[in-house]
């Protein structure tokens, strides 16, 4: 398995544990719709929360969260809309990013609530 893929999976596991510690209910992991994948779908405080996890070994080229492109945001929003309709969800949606830097056995986790929003 490619090192980048291994790091990504490790980051998703760290993000899931982090959210569980913060009393989020995990509904789905790696949920797919067409070409989009939502890393984690969670629920907390009346919100359904769609979480994109970005993991890097360093921030030499920018913080991990800066790598969520506009195109990726649109794909996540479209997939989230499909999930909401398919599951008849009647909660307000929120889009979060969990940014993780893992190096030398140190983990830096940043949770950005409401990191991006659907546009009309």
**CA gap 50, 79 in Å, rounded:** 10
Which residues lie across from 97 on neighbouring strands?
Answer: 52, 112
At residue 87, the 3 state secondary structure works out as coil
Which residues lie across from 33 on neighbouring strands?
Answer: 36
Domains of the chain in sequence order: 3-116 (3.40.1350.10)
User: How confident is the model over 20-79, as pLDDT tens digits?
Assistant: 999 999 999 999 999 999 999 999 999 999 999 998 887 777 777 888 999 999 999 999
What global pTM score does this model have? 0.92
């Amino acid at each position: 398995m490619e090192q980048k893929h291994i790091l990504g999976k490790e980051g998703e596991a760290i993000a899931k544990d982090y959210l569980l510690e913060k009393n989020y209910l995990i509904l789905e992991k790696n949920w797919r719709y067409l070409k989009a994948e939502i890393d984690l779908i969670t629920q907390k405080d009346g919100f359904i929360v769609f979480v994109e996890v970005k993991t890097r070994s360093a921030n030499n080229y920018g913080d991990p969260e800066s790598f969520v492109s506009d195109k990726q945001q649109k794909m996540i929003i479209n997939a989230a809309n499909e999930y909401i309709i398919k599951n008849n969800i009647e909660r307000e949606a929120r889009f979060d990013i969990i940014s993780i830097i893992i190096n030398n056995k140190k983990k830096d986790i940043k949770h950005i609530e409401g990191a991006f929003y659907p546009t009309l």
